Amino acid sequence: MEILEYLTITLFVIWCVSEIVIRLISLRNRSKSLSEEADRFSAFIIWLCTIPPIFFAILIREGLIFVNGFGNLSALFPLLGYLGCAVLAFGISFRVVAVATLNRQFTSEVSILDKQELVEKGIYGKIRHPAYLGFLVSLFGMGLISGNWVSLALLVVLPLTAILYRIHVEERVLLHHFGTAYQEYERRTKRLFPGIW
């Protein structure tokens, strides 16, 4: 096994562990009066649009799908693989910082906690959903590592669609709870991509 393989496996394990820890943090912070109506199945939809593309990318990378090389980006390897590892590491770090910034206010499901405050410090001073951005950047890194444009597209498009739905659901709940304070926060920040949207 070469260095890129070890690095890829290590980062994938770190990503999996970070997502498990994030889920445990969410369970610790979870509202006892959680309304599944508020979440509108968005947490489930995100994972439904994430896990199959990850498995698909693994199957492609291992040569079990598209054995004829369809979508192969091998001409750009190993550079693309190392770039993907760097992007994946950045995405994991960005997501962890976003979750740590929210601390006890972070949940995986859309809900309003007791004594919920509007967090505007750190990266939340620039974008409203940095944890989702970190998640998407991580998946983009995985797509680059896969070395196949089909898995790259699936790892970006499907989760992005789910995240956009989630942002819509979450912002409606936050706007309802915080009112004009959240409207003012929306005016000062971007949703997902700094300086763009």
Tell me whether residue 65 is exposed, middle or buried, using C-beta atoms within 10 angstroms of its C-beta: 0 to 12, 13 to 18, 19 or more.
Answer: middle
CATH code of domain 3-27+41-106+117-188: 1.20.120.1630
Which of helix, strand or coil describes residue 75? helix
Backbone angles phi, psi at 98, to 5 degrees: -65, -45
40-84 tens-digit pLDDT: 788 889 999 999 999 999 998 888 887 777 888 877 889 999 999
90-112 tens-digit pLDDT: 999 999 999 999 988 888 888 87
Domain extent listing, the chain: 3-27+41-106+117-188
Q: Please state the pTM of the whole predicted model.
A: 0.91
Chain CA centroid to CA 182, Å: 23
Mean pLDDT on 114-128: 90
